Amino acid sequence: MPWDLCADRPIYVQIMEEIERRIITGIYVPGSKLPSVRELAVEAGVNPNTMQKALAEMEQGGLIRTERTAGRFLTEEQHRIEALRKELLQKRMRAFLTEMQSIGVGVKEIEAWIQRTKEDQT
Amino acid sequence: MPWDLCADRPIYVQIMEEIERRIITGIYVPGSKLPSVRELAVEAGVNPNTMQKALAEMEQGGLIRTERTAGRFLTEEQHRIEALRKELLQKRMRAFLTEMQSIGVGVKEIEAWIQRTKEDQT
Amino acid sequence: MPWDLCADRPIYVQIMEEIERRIITGIYVPGSKLPSVRELAVEAGVNPNTMQKALAEMEQGGLIRTERTAGRFLTEEQHRIEALRKELLQKRMRAFLTEMQSIGVGVKEIEAWIQRTKEDQT
Amino acid sequence: MPWDLCADRPIYVQIMEEIERRIITGIYVPGSKLPSVRELAVEAGVNPNTMQKALAEMEQGGLIRTERTAGRFLTEEQHRIEALRKELLQKRMRAFLTEMQSIGVGVKEIEAWIQRTKEDQT
DNA sequence: GTGGTCTAGACCACT
DNA sequence: GTGGTCTAGACCACC
């Protein structure tokens, strides 16, 4: 899953979202050390300062803890991660439903589509 | 509904999408005359040439018909509009499901959420 | 009162403190527009980015509100400013008393000193 | 009590201040032998030359006396130590009162605060 | 003109 | 090697 840096929001925000996604999906495991600022910057093809900003911003959410000389660590508190997942899910869900509504697609039509998708998977 | 021209795709493509949205949602009614290139260009804060390109491009899809002296008119053929709606719906739907999958949300959870939303509306 | 950028804390923190001081002392009046990032940066002899960081950081405290194209404005809520004053006062006070204690100076001696100062002023 | 060598004054001055603090607070007792230059240099994470300079400088103040073969000794003359204490006290006091004044805190308010602190201690 | 974002590259303190 | 700070200078969107 590459970084995909091509939307209209600031890069550092996109980075935060990608990192959150990795946390939610368990790519970064609770309590473990995150890659260093420089590593992540290289991986994302971004200036270290930008990555720094993204990580510093994330720190406020309490998901990440910094140990100044050792690196950054992902919280071990599962409830924080679960809360993040819920929050993200809710945000995306609302955005999706709003957009669907704006193009005149009702809940029923969405449900039908999802049903069809479910059948495709089986 | 402002234009908000600041994504990564070419401006004329963004314009096409916005106009398509207006067609789908009925802001522009089937068979009616569209605003002039100049008006649209001013509204979107864009060079008339850019708007021209967007409209010309759309013409190829058959949604818009030009009458040399009278201006541009939206097609009256409902099936074209319906097809456009389906296409857009499908695109957004897929994107949404892909994203949900990427944060580890299954179809069941999505269905539950939509159920809850339906109840909220009633 | 110049900027005095010569302690061990980060410059941007010192800037925040100086701006807070100006708010507390009424140099920046409630509700008014602050000087622009660039002006302040020049005044402080600092890179605009550094000033930006300081101001962005301050925004979280709710004392400053940003209007993206118009500039930054000081809150009109007097209680926030009063709270800031109390907080700063308390912090400095504690630090001072702790230091005095660490060099073996008791409260009595401090009081005596202040008495003498008061007499000097009269 | 670590050394924390990261302010704007020359390192050797900071060292002098720290040693003076230790003298005032009785960590180094009057008449006793100080640790060797090397020991102190290691403790402070500093080049022995720098520590040497600090100690040499202090010698001029008469607080420290060097005995060629035995090392450096702290003076036994209490009045010197007392003078040093007064000097430091005065410096900090002035700095404190100046700062309080700069944030618009009058002597009365300071007295009130100290009163409250005194009550807290009892 | 405003605030905001980003890069490139440097330096610092701490371990 | 780690995170953090800072500068210089560029570009962006909005008004």
Structure-block tokens of residue C6: 């010569």
Residue A106 is predicted with a pLDDT of 83
Quote the pTM value: 0.80
| Choice among B117-121, D44-48, D100-104 with the minimum mean pLDDT | B117-121
Is 50 exceeded by the pLDDT of residue A68? yes
Percent of chain A residues past pLDDT 70, beyond the cut: 93
Chains in contact with B, where contact requires at least 3 CB pairs less than 8 Å apart? A
Q: B89-113, pLDDT tens digit by residue? A: 888 888 888 888 888 888 888 888 8
| Choice among A74-88, C65-79, D32-46 with the minimum mean pLDDT | D32-46
- Rounded to whole angstroms, the Cα distance separating D94 from A111 reads 74
Residue B6 is predicted with a pLDDT of 54
How open is the CA angle C37-C41-C45, to the nearest 5 degrees? Answer: 175
User: Which residue in B7, B99, B113 is closest to A8 by CB distance?
Assistant: B7
Q: Following DSSP, what letter does each residue of D34-91 receive, concatenated?
A: PPPHHHHHHHHT--HHHHHHHHHHHHHTTSEEEETTTEEEE---HHHHHHHHHHHHHH
| Choice among A9-13, C42-46, D12-16 with the minimum mean pLDDT | D12-16
| Choice among A52-56, A95-99, C66-70, D1-5 with the minimum mean pLDDT | D1-5
C1’ E12 / CA C92, Å: 27
Size of interface C-D (CB pairs under 8 A): 72
How open is the CA angle A82-A61-C64, to the nearest 5 degrees? Answer: 145
Q: Following DSSP, what letter does each residue of B31-99 receive, concatenated?
A: TPBPPPHHHHHHHHT--HHHHHHHHHHHHHHTSEEEETTTEEEE---HHHHHHHHHHHHHHHHHHHHHH
Name which residue leads in pLDDT, A1 or D97: D97
Task: Tell me if B40 sits within 8 A of B33, measured CB to CB.
Answer: no
Average pLDDT of chain B is 83
Tell me if D107 and C85 make a contact (CB, 8 A cut-off): no
Q: Establish whether the CB of A12 is closer than 7 Å to any nucleic acid atom in strand E.
A: yes
Name which residue leads in pLDDT, D115 or C74: C74
The whole-number average pLDDT for the span A34-60 is 94
State the nearest residue by CA to the C1' of E7: A47
Q: Establish whether the CB of C38 is closer than 7 Å to any nucleic acid atom in strand E.
A: yes
Residue A87 in contact with partner chain B when CB distance is under 8 A? no
Average pLDDT of chain D is 83
Question: Of A71, A61, A55, which Cα lies nearest the Cα of A11?
Answer: A55
In order of A103, A105, B62, B63, D11, the CA distances from B79 in angstroms are 16, 16, 11, 10, 82
The whole-number average pLDDT for the span C94-118 is 83
Residue A6 is predicted with a pLDDT of 46
State the nearest residue by CA to the C1' of F14: C69
Residue D7 is predicted with a pLDDT of 60
Structure-block tokens of residue A33: 């050390």
Is 60 exceeded by the pLDDT of residue A4? no
Q: Minimal Cα distance from C103: which residue of D?
A: D25
Chains in contact with C, where contact requires at least 3 CB pairs less than 8 Å apart? D
Structure-block tokens of residue A35: 């890659």
Tell me if C100 and D109 make a contact (CB, 8 A cut-off): no
Name the nt closest to C67 by C-alpha to C1'. Answer: E3
Q: A6-42, pLDDT tens digit by residue? A: 467 889 999 999 999 999 999 999 999 999 999 999 9
